[in-house]
Structure formats: structure tokens, C-alpha cells
Structure 1
Amino acid sequence: MGHGGNVIDELMTDHREVEELFGRIEALPPGHKDRKVYADQATIELVRHSVAEEEYLYPAVREHLADGDAIADRELEDHSKAEQIMKDLESCEAGDAEFDRLMGQLMAEIRSHLADEEGNLFPKLRAACTPDALDRLGDKIRQAKKLAPTRPHPSAPDKPPANKLLAPGAGMVDRMRDALSGRGKHD
């Protein structure tokens, strides 16, 4: 799928890509090895997406929305739950019973989070920000995703400035580990 446009378009594209990966996982029988490949791909996309939101979207939400602090705090709590599930999922193989349980939990958590963002947060942000501000935010999100980690780091900071300082280094290490291990690649 093509990326670009304002922050809402960019993040909605990410949402559709993750949902497509979830659909691929659900279409395969339990224990199929490709379920782990797709789970790893979904984790990579979700972590990059979450880090970019934490670096740029949620600070903008705090700045531009009257109830921005409460919304951003709720979104960060959702991210924290999902990140811990993804961390637990890392050590599971597709044939493990725990894999199916965690994958189901992750899909439910993410689907609820995406529905909330799309139904509540994005319309409020679109109403509160100029089109130019949304475009600039989209550019920042795209840039952040390029440098973001690809693996869950539940204990990493999720608010600026610490997250902006540490994420690129963790991202570089994660991408090196992924390249060496072949993680997230389909045979």
C-alpha cells in the first residue's frame, strides 16, 4: 500500500496493513509456521507505528485537543498493553498453545485501539488542526517510522524527549538483528 499524505492518512494506511496481516494469520490453520512469520511482520509494523505515534502524534494531541492529555494517556496505556503482549509473543512458536492465546489477545487489543483512534481521535484531530499541520505531522511520522525499533521494548520511555533520543539506536540494533535472523521475512 502507498504511504503519504497527512498524519491521518498515513496512520490509517498502517492500520489497514496490520489488519491484512491479522487476516492472513486467521486464514491459516493453528500451528502453521507462516502464522509466526505474519505475527513477526505485524509486530514490526505495530512497533514502528506505535513509536512514531508516541514521538509525534500524542504530543500533538496534548497540544491541540482540549481533552488531549486524557486521550494521549489512554492511548499510551493501550500501547503498553499491546507491547507487553508482543514481547510475550516473541518467545512463542506458531505451534505453541500460548501463541494462539497471545495472538488472539493482541488482535483484540489492537482492533479495539484502532477503532477508538479512527472513530474518536482522528476526527477530533482533523477538526482541531489545519491541513498544513496534519501534513507536517504526517512527514514526521513517516520519518520516525524509518528509524524506529522493530521489536517490542516494554520498558523503553514512551514520551518525549527520552523516546526520541533512544528509539533510533534501538531501531538500528533491531534492524540489524532482523537482517541477521531473517525475522519478518517470508520464504
Structure 2
Amino acid sequence: MGHGGDVVQELTVDHNEVKEYFGQLRTATDGKRRRELADLLTIELVRHSVAEEQYLYPAIRKHLDGGDRIADKEIADHSRVEELLKELEKLDPSGAEFVSRVDELRTEVLAHIKDEEENLFPALRHNCRQSELDHLGDSIRRAKKLSPTRPHPGSPSTPPANKLLAPGIGLVDRARDLVTGRGKGA
């Protein structure tokens, strides 16, 4: 959940974890294991997205030329992924539709990761002082600890509303996860 380092290092490690979950999902044949991996992937993607929306994208708006356009595009990408995650929750992990939805999700997420790592992160490094990048890394780590663990497509994706609501939603999600054992399949 928290890896250390500046914002780019933190988020890149998250990206690598997400890629690993997709790889494991691709080779999993047992429905129970697919559900466990999909839950772990969902938890990671939701925490990551919420933290980016709370801290990374406001920094993008502030520090990059065309930052509003870039942040809006990134948030739209997150919305699409969140819808796919919500749909995935409802599907039988043994079915072909589940596999198809995971493939669709994988395509969306990997394109988003590639864009961030090849364009957004280098631009951020170029336009921000290292102290700001370090501070953003700390903020991202704190946000992920309190973030929801389930997709909530209708919840706000921009400050201040997302910063106010996410911790409460996260608390409820983590309580549900504790009761059900969700997210323990790693």
C-alpha cells in the first residue's frame, strides 16, 4: 500500500503491482482464485485512483501547461475503469464474460499506466521541485490508507468533496472487507 519515495516512485510501484495482478488473473483458471485476484486488483486500483484524484491531479492542474485538460482526461479514464470494476464485481468469475471484462479492464488500465509513465510523470518531474514530489508521495501514501477499497462510480472525483467523503466511504469498505475476508487472498 505504501512504498516510500516521491510521488512518481510511489505510483510506479503501484502500477507494477497492478500489472502483476493482471498477469496472475490471466493464468488463473479457478473461479475462486480469479475472484480473489480481482478483489485484490480492485482494492489496489481504487486506492490508487482515489489518491491520484485527491493529490496528483490537483498538482497537475497547478504545475503543468494544459493541466486542467490533462487532469480531466485522467479522471475520465478513472471513471471508465471504476465502471468496469463495478461490473466485474457482479460477474461469475468462472464465466467467459468475467474473462472478457478483465481483458477490457486490462486494456484500459495499461493504456492509462503507459500514458502516465511516458508523459505525465516526466512532465511532473520537469515542472516540480523534488521537495514537492516528495510531499506528494507522502500525501498519496496517507490517502491510500484511508481510501475506499470498492468502486463507487457516483462519488466525487475532485477536491474538496472527494477529500471529505473518501475517508468515510473507505472506513465502511474496510469494515465490509474485514467481515467478509475480502482482500486476504494474496
TM (normalized to structure 1)? 0.96
Deviations 1:95-133 (A, max 9, x none): 122211111111110000000000000000000000000
Question: Which AA in structure 2 matches 1:144?
Answer: A
Specify the alignment match of 1:168 in structure 2: 167
Deviations 1:59-87 (A, max 9, x none): 00000001111110110010000000000
Looking at structure 2, the residues matched to 59 and 186 of structure 1 have their Cα atoms a distance apart, in angstroms, of 34
**Inter-CA distance 2–163: structure 2 relative to 1 (3 Å threshold):** closer
Kept after mapping to 1: 8 A contact 2:60/2:67: yes
Question: Which AA in structure 2 matches 1:16?
Answer: N
Looking at structure 2, the residues matched to 140 and 33 of structure 1 have their Cα atoms a distance apart, in angstroms, of 35
Specify the alignment match of 1:145 in structure 2: 144
Looking at structure 1, the residues matched to 174 and 32 of structure 2 have their Cα atoms a distance apart, in angstroms, of 22
**Inter-CA distance 140–116: structure 2 relative to 1 (3 Å threshold):** same
Q: Secondary structure at the match of 1:33?
A: helix
Specify the alignment match of 2:118 in structure 1: 119
Looking at structure 1, the residues matched to 87 and 175 of structure 2 have their Cα atoms a distance apart, in angstroms, of 21
Looking at structure 1, the residues matched to 78 and 176 of structure 2 have their Cα atoms a distance apart, in angstroms, of 23
Looking at structure 2, the residues matched to 11 and 61 of structure 1 have their Cα atoms a distance apart, in angstroms, of 14
Q: What pairs with 1:65-80 in structure 2 (closer than 5 Å)? A: 65-80=64-79
Specify the alignment match of 1:22 in structure 2: 22
Kept after mapping to 1: 8 A contact 2:18/2:41: yes
- What RMSD over aligned residues (CA atoms) do the two structures have, in Å? 1.3
Deviation of 1:168 (Å): 0.1
Q: Secondary structure at the match of 1:156?
A: coil
Looking at structure 2, the residues matched to 39 and 56 of structure 1 have their Cα atoms a distance apart, in angstroms, of 26
Alignment of 1:109 onto 2:112: no
Deviation of 1:183 (Å): 1.0
TM (normalized to structure 2)? 0.97
Specify the alignment match of 2:4 in structure 1: 4
Looking at structure 1, the residues matched to 68 and 154 of structure 2 have their Cα atoms a distance apart, in angstroms, of 21
Identity between Structure 1 and Structure 2 (%):
57
Question: Which AA in structure 1 matches 2:133?
Answer: L
Question: Which AA in structure 2 matches 1:164?
Answer: K
Deviation of 1:138 (Å): 0.3
Structure 2 spans left out of the alignment, 5+ residues: none
Specify the alignment match of 1:63 in structure 2: 62
Deviation of 1:36 (Å): 1.2
Question: Which AA in structure 2 matches 1:157?
Answer: P
Specify the alignment match of 1:181 in structure 2: 180
Kept after mapping to 1: 8 A contact 2:6/2:133: yes
Q: Once superposed, which parts of structure 1, at least 4 consecutive aligned residues long, lie more than 4 Å away? A: none
Specify the alignment match of 1:88 in structure 2: 87
Kept after mapping to 1: 8 A contact 2:2/2:141: no
Structure 1 spans left out of the alignment, 5+ residues: none
Kept after mapping to 1: 8 A contact 2:2/2:144: no
